[in-house]
């Protein structure tokens, strides 16, 4: 297969561990670099962020902060306890005493947030001042993509092509559903086993934590309590529970997909749960996870990093594709599953990271599975049904245009409404 190595690289690059919601963690990561270059804690901190960063940080709890939320908190914990070498696990090693340091630091330091309106939906710029020294760090386009590091107006690092990070540089345009399925069929398991083993371990663990613990609105537990005890219910509940925990301060890591932990949970946990229900081999589970993950990455790539289009919708279609593969479906079944799933639930809005994301995940998983069961029984959406086009790739392209172009003004209005609180 011509693009075999690229497909392996995409999985290894996109399926990374992260602790907490990725946007506040990206702020913490940026702040940790500021501190390390400055050589101490700044007394004055200015945080310039794009609207979509504001949207996805405003209401979500930051791990290791005793349940605190917000941009200032995310930056402060990165400054107080961050280790930039750990990237999206930057605050994983925070200690209990760091919470007290955090509270004292936020009272003593001047920390201010400023919205930025530029071409980047993902933009973080932090300027820290300590005595006579000033450090500026900019991250853009991907959560760990450092674009500029500057101290006292001297550039220490500058990436003029904006592509230092593998998440940005890797060519995801090679993906299409036909080749994804071919790759899943032929991939040597040893080439993808480590990254998928970590996804299975981390994402299933946080799902179980959400089911057994008390997090946010407890969507997963509520589904399990009141819905029928069937496999569809369990798949929805487990995925939602993972988000319950992640959105509400759980300190356990997840393996993300396309920069999102919720998307990583949505495209993996239902497939893992369904595979256990079918009692299939480990090899078949790996191949199904290849389908679900790469399908999610492919559709998400057409949409862009952050938008008004809820990303878990895409991951729901991905999980439906993975479940179709588990059931023995191949290209025809998977194509129609994806199209059906997108036809069912596309249009769900992203109004930031928060507790209700778990409910959207449950709906997206149901859409993905319903998309497969529809086609299994001979039912499908066809070209002309709304934005559905002839062929899966044309439908994916239409979804991308809807999200990137059609929902730009919607995104701005959502951000404005959220900032009125």
**Residues 179 and 162 reside in one and the same domain:** no
Is residue 134 pLDDT above 50, yes or no?
yes
Q: What distance in Å separates the CA atoms of residue 140 and residue 135, rounded to the nearest whole number? A: 17
User: 9 in a domain, yes or no?
Assistant: no
* Percent of all residues in the chain with a pLDDT value above 70, rounded to a whole number: 97
pLDDT score of 415: 87
Residue 32 sits in the same domain as residue 106: yes
Residue 165 has pLDDT above 80, yes or no: no
* Mean of the per-residue pLDDT values of the chain: 94
Residues 109 and 179 in one domain: no
Residue 186 has pLDDT above 80, yes or no: yes
* 263 and 412 assigned to the same domain: yes
The string of pLDDT tens digits covering residues 265-303 is 999 999 999 999 999 999 999 999 999 999 999 999 999
CA distance 118 to 400: 21
In a domain, 73, yes or no: yes
Pair (372, 296) in one structural domain: yes
Q: How confident is the model at residue 164 (pLDDT cuts 50, 70, 90)?
A: very low
Regarding whether 122 and 71 lie in a shared domain, the answer is: yes
**DSSP code at position 61:** B
pLDDT of residue 178: 98
Q: Are residues 372 and 297 in the same domain?
A: yes
- Domain-embedded: residue 227: yes
Shared domain for 372 and 276, answered yes or no, is yes
Under the banding of pLDDT at 50, 70 and 90, the label for residue 418 is confident
Question: Is 7 inside a domain boundary?
Answer: no
Averaged pLDDT, 397-406? 92
Q: CATH number, domain at 95?
A: 3.30.1330
**What pLDDT sits at residue 169?**
61
Residue 140 CA to residue 162 CA, distance in Å, equals 8
Over residues 63-76, the pLDDT tens digits come to 999 889 999 999 99
DSSP conformational letter for 177 = H
Q: Examine the fold and report which residue of 103, 136, 166 is the final residue of a domain before the chain moves on.
A: 166
> What are the pLDDT digits (tens) for 98-111?
989 999 999 999 99
Residue 335 sits in a domain of what CATH number?
Answer: 1.10.4100
Domain boundary, last residue among 166, 199, 231: 166
> Does residue 167 carry a pLDDT above 60?
no
Does one domain contain both 159 and 175? no
What pLDDT, on the 0 to 100 scale, is given for residue 228? 81
Query: Is residue 350 one of the residues assigned to a domain?
Result: yes
Task: Tell me: do 126 and 244 sit in the same domain.
Answer: no
Residue 8 located in a structural domain = no
Judgement on whether residues 179 and 141 belong to the same structural domain of the protein: no
Buried b / exposed e over 191-203, threshold 16 CB at 10 Å, is: ebeebbeebbebb
Q: Which of 118, 143, 166 is the last residue of a domain?
A: 166
Report pLDDT for 198: 98
Unique residue bearing structure tokens 């080439």: 191
Element (H, E) at 135: strand 133-140
Render pLDDT for 27-48 as a digit per residue (tens, 0 to 9): 999 999 999 999 999 999 999 9
Q: Cα-flanking dihedrals φ and ψ of residue 404, to 5°?
A: -75, -40
Q: Is position 10 within any domain? A: no
Instruction: Please name the helix (run of DSSP H) or strand (run of DSSP E) that holds residue 29, with its range, or none.
Output: helix 22-38
Give mean pLDDT, residues 380-407. Answer: 93
Answer yes or no: do 136 and 191 share one domain. no
Question: And the tokens for 339?
Answer: 């199209």
d(CA 53, CA 377): 42
pLDDT tens profile 311-334: 999 999 999 999 999 999 999 999
Q: What's residue 227's pLDDT?
A: 81
The domain of 414 spans 171-419
Q: What's the number of domains the chain is made of?
A: 2
Q: Is the residue at 11 inside a domain?
A: no
């Amino acid at each position: 297969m011509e693009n075999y190595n690229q497909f392996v690289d995409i999985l290894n690059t996109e399926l990374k561990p992260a602790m907490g919601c990725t946007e506040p963690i990206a702020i913490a990561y940026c702040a940790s670099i500021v501190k390390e270059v400055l050589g101490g804690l700044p007394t004055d901190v200015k945080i310039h962020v794009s609207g979509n960063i504001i949207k996805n940080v405003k209401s979500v709890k930051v791990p290791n902060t005793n349940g605190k939320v917000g941009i200032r908190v995310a930056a402060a914990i990165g400054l107080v306890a961050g280790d930039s070498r750990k990237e999206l696990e930057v605050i994983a090693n925070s200690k209990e005493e760091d919470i007290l340091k955090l509270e004292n630091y936020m009272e003593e330091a001047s920390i201010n947030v400023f919205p930025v309106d530029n071409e980047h939906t993902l933009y973080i710029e932090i300027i820290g001042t300590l005595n006579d020294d000033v450090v500026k760090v900019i991250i853009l386009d991907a959560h760990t993509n450092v674009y500029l590091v500057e101290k006292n107006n001297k550039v220490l690092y500058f990436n003029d092509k904006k592509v230092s990070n593998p998440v940005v540089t890797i060519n995801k345009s090679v993906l299409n559903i036909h080749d994804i399925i071919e790759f899943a069929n032929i991939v040597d398991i040893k080439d993808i086993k480590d990254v998928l083993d970590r996804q299975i371990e981390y994402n299933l663990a946080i799902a179980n934590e959400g089911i057994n613990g008390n997090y946010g609105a407890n969507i997963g537990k509520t589904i399990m309590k009141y819905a029928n005890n069937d496999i569809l219910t369990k798949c929805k509940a487990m995925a939602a529970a993972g988000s319950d925990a992640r959105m509400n301060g759980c300190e356990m890591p997840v393996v993300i997909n396309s920069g999102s932990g919720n998307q990583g949970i949505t495209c993996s946990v239902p497939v893992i749960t369904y595979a256990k229900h079918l009692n299939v081999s480990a090899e078949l589970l790996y191949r199904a996870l290849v389908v679900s993950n790469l399908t999610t990455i492919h559709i998400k790539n057409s949409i862009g990093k952050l938008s008004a289009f809820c990303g878990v919708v895409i991951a729901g279609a991905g999980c439906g594709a993975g479940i179709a593969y588990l059931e023995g479906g191949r290209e025809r079944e998977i194509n129609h599953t994806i199209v059906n799933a997108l036809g069912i639930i596309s249009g769900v809005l992203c109004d930031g990271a928060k507790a209700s994301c778990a409910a959207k995940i449950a709906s997206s998983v149901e859409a993905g599975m319903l998309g497969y069961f529809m086609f299994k029984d001979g039912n499908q959406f066809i070209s002309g049904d709304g934005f559905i086009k002839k062929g899966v790739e044309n439908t994916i392209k239409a979804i991308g245009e809807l999200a990137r172009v059609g929902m730009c003004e919607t995104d701005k209005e959502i951000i404005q409404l959220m900032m009125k609180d």
